[in-house]
């Protein structure tokens, strides 16, 4: 019998006694669709969305039946059109998205249509959290000074955001100074369950930041997508994906005393990267998962992008309900949350054997030890006692083996600015500042260290950037703000700072010494990302760790130290002080936790935030429905719709192409499109200088993502990126920076300049790379910039999930080497042809690459087309997802 969605509607009572309705998954068994009781919980929530939104057009009965009968080890060829309940943005990704929407309104007007056709159909929240920089850090008014600079630098962007608030009905903004998007989402935006009239359904979302997954700790299905994909979702398109494998992670045991959630997530990141969970759902379960607090779960969920998963999901249970109540959600909301998931048979932490997973991985929490990760990737975990040995090994290893090539250098003398010196120490990032346990531990360690007379050297840039104002409130109540300030960890901002490259400048003399001596100095941070040149261009070793360890290493002043056997420093009596002497006990942390925030605190701090900042209130924005695109170096009309026509052009052929660059493994979106500082001698810096902008006012690439002229010049401009086409320098070291050899004459040029020359000559460009191309942030400009440079295809050994999708969304072909083939052996002076795409493109079809060498020799390599789903084929045919959606909207 055909499935009618009304047949699956059931009722459950609210605490008030009112009967409300929901689309019942257990009812699908009664209706003969399939028994879903052993499906992973995350997949059941996606299934509910299919059932509730089944309209016979976008979502059909076939979609529902296919997912209801998901099999753990089946081949994955079916497409899921997932309709989410809401979308969250941060300002670095939200501003270019808003530019695209404004540009689409211009097109609608040009075609004689109402601009209001371009309107988000689901609620959208933008949290302004990525624009503040740590310029001031030890001054008593550092927070105010940094915010004043933020508003001066970003006035044009903020005016544009405020225009969007009035132009789009469903577009809301959390202004600067409130917190980090993911912590604000966890503490305030998420409601657990939503309802329309008297029909209740789960909260689901996508966000334009890869760490959107933090919300998985609340039992909310959501993950990071590029802004390109988010725009389509806002304008009525489902989020399309292949039916995923679901990896169950069975947590057993308990964390030992002194071991933090940060240590746990670094162990999990290392473990799941090795297990290759890229593009899969990870679902935590088991008796150990049940013991984790909600903030500990949030720490694990947050770093899903680092271990490669689409999500790091925790099923909802009493811990979840208790957190919703503790953070100020109403009693009625909490009861509705509990009642809904109980009615769906999805409330409570599953134990071993309850659910069928594609595979199950095991982790005993008792085995987790204090750890750090780095110096270049989050998955490179180092047990804390081994850090000194590991750093010195990397220092001596040749650069070709991933080291720093410093063999034969003189070891550092105590207190000297030399290899291993800590120059940035930052308690920052949503990963850890959302977790009261580790934040209070940092404060307690600081309190004990200050009481012994320990200090942090003044040349170390220390900062505390809480994820929300709630953190400052409970640190103050526990009496821990003052000792943190005594050690230099003063509140500098409520936003993403050091973790995204907004660490601000080092002292000029210090940076000059680092450069002149080619020193391998260190940053220690409680963040989730430590990719090359992300934290600061001059700092080459970046280590992730818990907040209390950040304080400890700041005191020690070095990373080449064994904190088990060597003292942090000497106290006021001249006695050595060891880490174990100042590390807080579990009881001390528990006692401090009892003094932390109450529901009333959350109500007070989140009430009226929209009007509490006079700097924000003072911004006057345009009020028209179509943006005027006044002269600005921050906001410009996007070029993606300049030649828009109602009918898509023919699929381009790629012949006579040149390699723009050849890269190795683990090229991140930071390598492709950096977010941090703009160098004056780079193409972007030269452009800004030509516009009359002084280097002091360059701001960052991230803040200028609303302007394509800056961003396309910043593509592949990371100072640490290595193009393998370039020969080593005179010392035999790899050449770093956004350079290439322009063909056919082999001239050394910036990648941007070579790309412009190729475009002028009508020569298609290709990018070659190794494994894990596009890891890291869900950064639209990594794909947009690639497209604007004239790159027709990226050919890699493997792709990270979000970036692959973004490339398709911008009309760039992602192609994957097959078997043992790779870019090895390519020099960059070859000519390339792609064949097999001329006719009816099919998902994951073979494509032939013909390589023609200058000496006339040719060879052919078979590639895999990583356009994975039928709807992605349509996106590519239309030149990208935005033209596809725009044509649909304009034709009704």
Asked if 152 and 296 sit in the same domain, the reply is no
The C-alpha atoms of residue 572 and residue 586 are separated, in whole angstroms, by 27
pLDDT, mean over the chain: 94
pLDDT, tens only, 218-238: 999 999 998 888 988 998 889
Asked if 211 and 253 sit in the same domain, the reply is no
Lowest mean pLDDT among 171-185, 666-680, 787-801: 666-680
In a domain, residue 14? The reply is: yes
The C-alpha atoms of residue 187 and residue 192 are separated, in whole angstroms, by 11
- Report CA-CA distances (Å) from 18 to 12, 195, 332, 339: 8, 14, 11, 12
Asked if 182 and 89 sit in the same domain, the reply is yes
In a domain, residue 877? The reply is: no
Is the bond into 744 cis (omega within 30 degrees of 0)? yes
The C-alpha atoms of residue 52 and residue 64 are separated, in whole angstroms, by 10
Is the bond into 811 cis (omega within 30 degrees of 0)? no
CB 83 within 8 A of CB 53: yes
Integer-rounded Cα radius of gyration of the chain: 26
pLDDT, tens only, 137-163: 999 999 999 999 999 999 999 999 999
Say if residue 630's pLDDT is above 80: yes
The mean pLDDT value for 109-138 works out to 94
Asked if 34 and 120 sit in the same domain, the reply is no
The C-alpha atoms of residue 244 and residue 71 are separated, in whole angstroms, by 10
User: Alpha carbon 147 to chain centroid distance?
Assistant: 23
In a domain, residue 646? The reply is: no
The C-alpha atoms of residue 734 and residue 448 are separated, in whole angstroms, by 45
pLDDT classification of 410: cutoffs 50, 70, 90:
low
List the one residue out of 283, 261, 262, 256 whose CA is nearest residue 272. Answer: 283
User: 582-604 burial, b for 16+ CB within 10 Å, e for fewer?
Assistant: bbbeeebbeebeeebbeeebbee
Opening angle at CA 147, ends 179 and 707, nearest 5: 85
For the beta carbon of residue 107, count every other beta carbon within 10 angstroms: 22
pLDDT, tens only, 46-98: 999 999 999 988 899 999 999 999 999 999 888 899 999 999 999 988 999 99
What are the phi and psi torsion angles at 753 (to 5°)?
-65, -40
Residue 262's pLDDT is 98
For the beta carbon of residue 10, count every other beta carbon within 10 angstroms: 15
The mean pLDDT value for 583-610 works out to 90
The mean pLDDT value for 263-270 works out to 98
List the one residue out of 151, 210, 92, 89 whose CA is nearest residue 703. Answer: 92
The mean pLDDT value for 830-844 works out to 93
For the beta carbon of residue 509, count every other beta carbon within 10 angstroms: 9
pLDDT, tens only, 290-300: 999 999 999 99
What sign for the dihedral angle of Cα 515, 518, 523, 528? positive
Asked if 433 and 447 sit in the same domain, the reply is yes
pLDDT classification of 2: cutoffs 50, 70, 90:
confident
Residue 411's pLDDT is 52
Q: What is the CATH number of the domain that holds 277?
A: 3.40.1060.10
Residue 117's pLDDT is 94
Residue 400's pLDDT is 82
Which domain, by its residues, includes 209?
Answer: 84-241+607-637
The mean pLDDT value for 758-776 works out to 96
Element (H, E) at 864: strand 858-865
In a domain, residue 261? The reply is: yes
Q: What is the CATH number of the domain that holds 766?
A: 3.20.19.10
Say if residue 412's pLDDT is above 80: no
- Report CA-CA distances (Å) from 462 to 178, 262, 354, 545, 560: 21, 20, 47, 15, 19
Beta bridge partners of 312: 282
Asked if 70 and 124 sit in the same domain, the reply is no
- Report CA-CA distances (Å) from 565 to 416, 446, 452, 578, 846: 21, 20, 19, 8, 57
CB 349 within 8 A of CB 285: yes
For the beta carbon of residue 212, count every other beta carbon within 10 angstroms: 30
The C-alpha atoms of residue 670 and residue 666 are separated, in whole angstroms, by 11
The C-alpha atoms of residue 122 and residue 141 are separated, in whole angstroms, by 40
What are the phi and psi torsion angles at 31 (to 5°)?
-85, 5
pLDDT, tens only, 634-677: 999 999 998 899 999 998 899 999 999 999 999 999 999 998 88
pLDDT classification of 414: cutoffs 50, 70, 90:
very low
CB 844 within 8 A of CB 193: no
Asked if 784 and 657 sit in the same domain, the reply is yes
Which of 536, 570, 598 lies at the terminal end of a domain, its last residue? 598
Asked if 501 and 411 sit in the same domain, the reply is yes
Q: What is the CATH number of the domain that holds 543?
A: 3.30.499.10
In a domain, residue 709? The reply is: no
Lowest mean pLDDT among 314-328, 525-539, 710-724: 525-539
- Provide the domain count of the chain: 5
Asked if 186 and 56 sit in the same domain, the reply is no
In a domain, residue 336? The reply is: no
SS (H, E, C) 394-433: HHHCCHHHCCCCCCCCCCCCCCCCCCCEEEEEEECCHHHH
Asked if 152 and 39 sit in the same domain, the reply is no
């Amino acid at each position: 019998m055909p499935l009618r969605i009304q047949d699956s509607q059931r009722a459950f009572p609210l605490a008030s006694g009112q009967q409300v309705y929901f689309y019942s998954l257990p009812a699908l068994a009664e209706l003969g669709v399939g028994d879903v009781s052993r499906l992973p919980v995350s997949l059941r929530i996606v299934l509910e969305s299919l059932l509730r939104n089944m309209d016979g057009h976008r979502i059909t009965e076939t979609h529902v039946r296919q997912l209801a009968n998901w099999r753990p080890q089946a081949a994955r060829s079916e497409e899921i059109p997932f309709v989410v309940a809401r979308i969250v943005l941060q300002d670095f990704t939200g501003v270019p998205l808003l530019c695209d929407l404004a540009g689409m309104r211009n097109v609608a007007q040009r075609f004689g249509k109402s601009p209001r056709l371009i309107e988000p159909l689901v609620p959208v929240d933008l949290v302004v959290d990525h624009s503040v920089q740590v310029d001031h850090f030890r001054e008593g008014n550092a927070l105010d000074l940094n915010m004043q600079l933020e508003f001066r630098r970003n006035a044009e962007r903020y005016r544009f955001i405020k225009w969007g608030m009035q132009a789009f009905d469903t577009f809301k903004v959390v202004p600067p100074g409130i917190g980090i998007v993911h912590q604000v989402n966890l503490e305030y935006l998420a409601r657990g369950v939503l309802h329309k009239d008297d029909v209740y359904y789960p909260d689901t979302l996508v966000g334009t930041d890869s760490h959107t997954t933090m919300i998985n700790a609340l039992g909310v299905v959501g993950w990071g997508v590029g802004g390109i994909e988010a725009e389509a979702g806002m304008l009525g398109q489902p989020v399309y994906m292949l039916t995923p494998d679901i990896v169950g992670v069975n947590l057993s045991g308990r964390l030992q005393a002194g071991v933090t959630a940060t240590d746990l997530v670094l162990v999990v990141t290392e473990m799941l990267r090795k297990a290759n969970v890229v593009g899969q759902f990870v679902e935590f379960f088991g008796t150990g998962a049940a013991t984790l607090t909600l903030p500990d779960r949030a720490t694990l969920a947050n770093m899903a992008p680092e271990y490669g998963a689409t999500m790091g999901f925790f099923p909802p249970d009493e811990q979840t309900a208790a957190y919703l109540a503790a953070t100020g959600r109403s009693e009625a909301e909490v009861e509705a949350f509990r009642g809904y998931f109980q009615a769906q048979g999805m409330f409570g932490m599953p134990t071993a054997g309850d659910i069928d997973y594609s595979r199950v991985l095991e982790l005993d929490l008792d085995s987790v030890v204090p750890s750090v990760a780095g110096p270049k990737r989050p998955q490179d975990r180092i047990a804390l006692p081994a850090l000194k040995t590991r750093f010195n090994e990397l220092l001596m290893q040749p650069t070709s083996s991933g080291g720093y090539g410093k063999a034969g250098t003189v070891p550092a003398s105590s207190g000297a600015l030399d290899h291993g010196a800590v120059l940035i120490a930052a308690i920052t990032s949503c990963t850890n500042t959302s977790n009261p346990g580790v934040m209070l531990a940092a404060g307690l360690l600081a309190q004990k260290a200050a009481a012994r007379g320990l200090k942090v050297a003044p040349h170390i840039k220390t900062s505390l950037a809480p994820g929300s104002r709630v953190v400052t409130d409970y640190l103050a109540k526990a009496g821990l703000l003052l000792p943190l300030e005594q050690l230099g960890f003063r509140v500098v901002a409520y936003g993403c700072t050091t973790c995204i490259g907004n660490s601000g400048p080092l002292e000029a003399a210090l940076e000059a010494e680092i450069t002149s001596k080619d020193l391998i100095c260190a940053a220690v941070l409680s963040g989730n990302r430590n990719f090359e040149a992300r934290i600061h261009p001059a700092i080459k070793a970046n280590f992730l760790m818990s907040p209390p360890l950040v304080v400890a290493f700041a005191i020690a002043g070095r990373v080449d130290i064994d904190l088990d056997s060597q003292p942090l420093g000497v106290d006021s009596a001249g006695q050595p002080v060891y880490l174990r002497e100042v590390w807080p006990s579990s009881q001390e942390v528990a006692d401090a936790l009892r003094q932390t925030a109450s529901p009333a605190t959350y109500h007070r701090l989140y009430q009226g935030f929209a009007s509490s900042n006079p700097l924000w209130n003072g911004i006057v924005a345009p009020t028209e429905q179509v943006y005027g695109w006044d002269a600005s170096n921050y906001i410009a009309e996007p070029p993606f719709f300049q030649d828009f026509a109602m009918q898509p052009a023919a699929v381009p052929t790629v012949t006579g192409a040149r390699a723009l660059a050849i890269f190795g493994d683990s090229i991140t979106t930071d390598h492709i499109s950096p977010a941090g500082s703009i160098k004056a001698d780079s193409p972007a810096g030269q452009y800004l200088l030509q516009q009359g902008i002084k280097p002091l006012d360059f701001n960052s690439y991230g803040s200028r993502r609303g302007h394509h002229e800056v961003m396309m010049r910043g593509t592949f401009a990371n100072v640490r990126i290595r193009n393998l086409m370039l020969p080593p320098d005179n010392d035999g070291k790899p050449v770093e920076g956004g350079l290439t050899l322009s063909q056919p004459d082999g001239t050394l040029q910036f990648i941007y300049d070579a790309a412009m020359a190729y475009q002028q000559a009508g020569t298609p460009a290709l990018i070659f790379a190794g494994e894990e191309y596009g890891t890291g942030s869900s950064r639209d400009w990594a794909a947009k910039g690639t497209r604007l440079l004239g790159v027709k295809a990226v050919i890699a050994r493997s792709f990270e999930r979000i970036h692959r999708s973004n490339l398709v969304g911008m009309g760039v072909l992602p192609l994957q080497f097959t078997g043992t083939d790779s870019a090895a052996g390519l020099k960059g002076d070859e000519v390339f042809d792609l064949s097999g795409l001329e006719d009816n493109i099919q998902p994951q079809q073979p494509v032939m690459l013909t390589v023609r060498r200058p000496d006339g020799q040719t060879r052919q390599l078979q590639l895999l087309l990583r356009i994975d789903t039928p709807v992605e084929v349509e996106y590519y045919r239309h030149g990208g997802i935005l033209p596809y959606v725009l044509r649909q909207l304009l034709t009704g």
